[in-house]
Amino acid sequence: MKKIIEKFLITSIFVMIIVSTFLSMINVYSQAENIVKIGWGGTSFDTFNPFTTYAQVSGWATSDVYDTLVRFDKTYTKFIPDLAESWEMNSTHVVFHLVKNATFHDGVPVTAYDVNYSFYLASQPWSRLSPNVEGVEKIDIIDNYTIAFKVKSPIIFMFMAATAVPIVPMHIWEKVSDPSTYPDYPPIGSGPFKVVDYREGQYILLQKNPSFFRRDWIPNVDKIMIVFYSDVTSASNALRAGDIDAVGPYVPVAVVNDLMNDPRFAVFKVRPVLYFYMAFNMYPEGKGNPTLRDPVVRRALAHAVNVSYLAELAWHGYAQPLATVMPTTNIFYDPNLKPYEFNLTLANQLLDQAGYKRGPDGIRVSPNGTPMKYTILVPSNMPELVRVGQQIALWWSQIGVSADVKAMDTGSMASIIWTKVDNKTTLGHDIDIWDWFVTPGDPTILSVFLSNQVIMGTSDSGYVNPEYDSLYQKMLEAKDLDTVKEIAWKMQEMLYRDLPYLPLYQVTAPQAYNKNRITGFDLDWPGGPFGGYDWTVFLKIKIVSPTTSAPATTTTTTGLTTTTSFTATTPVSASATPIISTSATQVATTTTTAAALPGISVETSLIIAIIIIVIIVLGVVIWATTRRGKAS
């Protein structure tokens, strides 16, 4: 029996050494694999398909998954080589010379054929990028790494198309039966990061691409996890709790002081790319209240909104009233426009003169008997907009207008706004208050108001104006930036007059990060590092210490209550099913962070397995020793 105990103790010590070594290896591995977690509390993620996504977070999360021909620098006036290492321009053509060592994440080289096919996809009527490439007349593939674009305006092409169209692998996309509905998961790009895991409503996990062709763009961290939250308040509370390292696209003003008073965090203002607006459904075929199609009504409603007050109500010094559809950081912003004067007396006079009489309940009625009763839709993940909507409803009640504010998730909002009637897209709402993130370096936001954009799912106003459409085409043909700016100003003045949108305010949004955890990025980008436009942040970000979960002093807080004229060299294949390379699928599977046992981490599962093995081994040793003892 004594020998049995001795063997048991020796075996136990040996096994403990093995287990300790194993646990040390796990700990070393966990520290070596540096991961940054960024919380996002804005518009929900929609799709990895870069041609159909409209969500800001979707574009940001994949900004380093897909490459473009060129990139903007942070001034949004200069271009940086990406897949194109050089280019030449004349009055009608732009010729790009591609790098020869770029490969997609599945190892297939990137060539001019992929560029051509990507622009073909971008040009399709269902693509959100079709307005960006309207100025492209023809594409010629000169060789595998040289491609020429015949364009109406080279400068517009560079600002609106060369920087915007993601280059996707033709060998995958040509086999997709319907690219307009293709989810593109896992997405295969050629960028410095690849998507290795995605859990709907939870997170996206990006992993460094060590074979990226630009060695100076190799990321500093192994992985970036973008964690989704229902709203920015929840994301900010997660930052304070130590669950994440930074918050995007902004932190609500209600928690700014708490973060500023905590020495762990850096809080700063960003240059504005975000603005909020009110859209009136004026679509001739829309299903909203028809009184909104009357320009006098829209003008009266505009005079009954104090945008300066709303900016302060919602953002307490972090917002400025706006009069046009572009923030001041956009190089095509028209500074000559001023917000509509807040004047309830004038608003009442306009409605009186137009024949909108008050009924017995005090609500005005149009000359043909339609009450001025509206529903205002606001996104529930932006709680400050509920208070904005309620304040507007209060002002409007003083001019005989009834407004009911309804908050809902952005998906529900979109399904009401862009509704189907007889299998045709139309607008089904009255009014919505929402936001746009506007790229600082191009005038693409002006395309939202083109007459064909309701069926494209971008126009929530239903603005139809052939004169405006004509100006947009002239802008696409402009040969220099001064002419582009002149036309863009005329278009903004037209929108100011016709009021499909009432711009409310732009936001110099506060952002925050844990300065004890991360560093290395540039705070001077428009929108800040976590606002969706700084494509360099994932590359530059560094970890300054291992992940910690030091609890913050928590206080419950709440937020303030048209197909183009060119054709591609290769047509779309009619293959019935999407093809995703085996290697890409394996990457997405093998890096999944799911636990080996339900509700238990991988490390814990392995430890349990080792303990079970140890018990079995010890049992066998004891049993064998006992049998030998009996035999002797």
Q: What is the CATH number of the domain that holds 491?
A: 3.10.105.10
Q: How many CB atoms lie within 10 A of CB 113?
A: 18
Backbone angles phi, psi at 311, to 5 degrees: -60, -40
Q: Which of 479, 507, 535 is the last residue of a domain?
A: 507
Structure tokens at 63: 């900004």
pLDDT at 12: 56
Longest dimension (CA), the chain: 116
Q: Do residues 476 and 346 share a domain? A: yes
Backbone angles phi, psi at 255, to 5 degrees: -115, 0
pLDDT at 589: 27
Q: Is residue 61 assigned to a domain? A: no
For residue 410, give its domain range: 274-507
Q: Do residues 502 and 613 share a domain? A: no
CA distances from 564 to 126, 139, 152, 534 (A): 12, 12, 12, 30
Q: Is residue 251 assigned to a domain? A: no
pTM of the model: 0.73
Distance CA 59, CA 165 (A): 11
Give the dihedral sign, CA 279/282/287/288. Answer: positive
Q: Which of 492, 507, 522 is the last residue of a domain?
A: 507
Closest CA to 436 of 64, 42, 62, 134: 42
Q: Is residue 590 assigned to a domain? A: no
Distance CA 434, CA 445 (A): 14
Closest CA to 180 of 461, 508, 425: 425
Q: Is residue 613 assigned to a domain? A: yes
What is the H or E stretch that residue 494 is in? helix 481-498
Distance CA 493, CA 274 (A): 20
Q: Which of 459, 491, 507 is the last residue of a domain?
A: 507
Structure tokens at 187: 């997405």
Structure tokens at 41: 């509390």
Residues in the chain, overall count: 632
Q: Do residues 373 and 499 share a domain? A: yes
Closest CA to 104 of 202, 38, 5, 170: 170
Give the residues across from 199 on adjacent strands.
Answer: 203
Q: Is residue 94 assigned to a domain? A: no
Q: Is residue 377 assigned to a domain? A: yes
Q: Do residues 360 and 491 share a domain? A: yes
pLDDT at 23: 40
**Helix 253-260 and helix 232-241: axis angle, to 10°?**
10
Give the dihedral sign, CA 492/494/495/499. Answer: positive
Q: Is residue 288 assigned to a domain? A: yes
pLDDT at 425: 85
Q: Do residues 360 and 474 share a domain? A: yes
pLDDT at 599: 33
Distance CA 39, CA 42 (A): 9
Q: Is residue 491 assigned to a domain? A: yes
Domain count, the chain: 2
- pLDDT under 50: residue ranges of the chain: 19-32, 547-605, 630, 632
Strands 402-408 and 373-379: parallel
Q: Do residues 611 and 475 share a domain? A: no
Give the residues across from 488 on adjacent strands.
Answer: none
